[in-house]
Chains A and B, each alone.
Chain A
């Protein structure tokens, strides 16, 4: 059954349907409604939603819940995610499945999501849905990916996604509850010389020191495997395109609409959207860009994803930015760029 739901509520419902039973957060626009939805719905399912004292505690609480084997999530806005960076990086080394939502203000957190501000070598899987329907599907997938790879997964949304109402499938099939996990510190493992230590330090119960091969280098190899296996993208009209428009998240919806219109008018434009911001679909983009004359990157920031586009095509075609910082005085990322006519004009300008 399809129901009209605000993005935040739809995402929370999708997370609960995926078996998420723990959430912790700290209010911040435009993430607040996601926290409200979890707070309203989790207790009835036997789960817990905690109003954390800060984003640092929010991710700490979710970390503790995930370490016991529960499906857990947290989230914030980019500013709050900034406070979580230390934990996000450490969680990859603790190899914990945790889903993290960033309801960002605009698209200025692309670097934060894909490069991160944490310490050491680490990677987060980053999913960027284009609309509420895809956000529902990718939320479910986020939990699956987090468990498959035992790595945190970041779902990137924005003000538009959080607050837009769309008709979406209300009830997906529930993912079965997590089976008892051999690694989970659920409290039952003591006294038999084989305790479960969920640690980001690389130590092993009963022995001393850290083996770099089985710790840091093994995790690096895992991230290389993720990079090979998980890139996702959407492409349209790329076969004979002279101009390729690359965009992600909510803004890609405007780009896709404009490209379809311009195509129907005979303009040879194509559309490419990374769904995974990491791993970035570099090979697919290089293929899509093989015959284009020019690549236009539409993003709502000062130019961040454009670096990944340039790395993907390695000089095969000129790459120009046609987006930019765009917000009203609130700073929440709703600005003049979010306008179909304006986006169309920018794409047309790039053709010339």
Chain B
């Protein structure tokens, strides 16, 4: 096997990122997703017709870096803001950036109705299975057995209930045209996620309905694992429950 020096992607700033500096933890997966989104929007030539709607979570700290028109939402409320914006600017690409606490806990009703309405917006879920910003607490997507600061012995079905698999919930809805779950724990999945985001944006631009891309992201800080073990933990723990792949494409459910 040949060896080569790793490419430091940090040295290649996406054109739509205002600064290389961010305040998120080492090993966090969220900046990777931001990079994918910004690179794609540039590639599709949509910088002057795109509006992002950002929720509240760690990724909110990335918002000031984004060289796109943005609307800051309250926790959980990005899909309704995106709806209102899209209705007034139908030519714009509308995407939300939300975490699992934001989209699946506080704002679950919002994403469900926006999908059912077939709103031509793309909701992007950064799912790391914890409230990272508060320091690692249980969310609706935390898997059984996962240790968090308020499920210290691990999430138990009896005491804390079962995790919600959002894509599986959204995909059957009539208005949902494209639903997929990706991950950024290794290079192959980063590329795959990039293709999913592209299809979601293309779905929106074709006017065929709502699109959702969930991306599993590393949170070694909130998982209490060493930084280098984040990708493996994601694959083995979160990935076993929240399974990566496309669930719906062109309005047709995909058998898995």
Contact = CB atoms under 8 A, between A and B. Distances in A.
B83 interface: yes
A56 B77 CA distance: 8
Interface residues of B, number: 45
Contacts of B150: none
A177 to B, nearest CB: 12
Interface string A11-55: 000000000011010000000000000000000000010101110
Given A56-B77, A185-B51, A201-B60, A195 B70 contact: yes
Interface string A155-181: 000000000000000000000000000
Pick the most buried of B21, B47, B77: most chain A CB atoms within 10 A of its CB: B77
Contacts of B65: 206
**Interface residues on chain A, size class:** 35 or more
Given A64-B82, A188-B69, A205-B66, A22 B88 contact: yes
A57 B110 contact: yes
Given A67-B81, A186-B69, A191-B48, A203 B74 contact: no
B49 A188 contact: yes
B15 A191 contact: yes
Nearest to A58: B80
Contacts of A66: 84
A197 B47 contact: no
A79 interface: no
Interface in A95-134: none
A68 interface: yes
B68 interface: yes
Contacts of B84: 22, 24, 50, 60-68, 72
A86 B83 CA distance: 19
A198 B64 contact: no
B69 A197 contact: yes
B77 A87 contact: yes
Nearest to B41: A190
A70 interface: yes
Contact of A200 (B69, B72, B85, B92): B72
B213 interface: no
Interface in B1-38: 15-16, 18-19, 21, 23
Contacts of B50: 187, 190
A190 B42 CA distance: 10
B63 interface: yes
Contacts of B68: 189-191, 195
Q: Which 6 A-B pairs have the closest CB atoms?
A: A64-B84, A60-B80, A191-B47, A187-B92, A64-B81, A199-B72
Interface of A: 21-22, 24, 48, 50, 52-54, 56-58, 60-70, 72, 86-87, 90, 94, 185-193, 195-201, 203-208
Given A185-B71, A191-B15, A205-B67, 15 more contacts: A53-B109, A57-B77, A60-B79, A60-B80, A64-B85, A87-B77, A185-B51, A187-B69, A188-B48, A190-B41, A190-B67, A195-B67, A199-B71, A203-B63, A205-B66
13 contacts: A50-B83, A57-B77, A60-B79, A63-B73, A64-B71, A67-B84, A67-B85, A185-B71, A186-B51, A186-B89, A190-B47, A190-B69, A200-B72
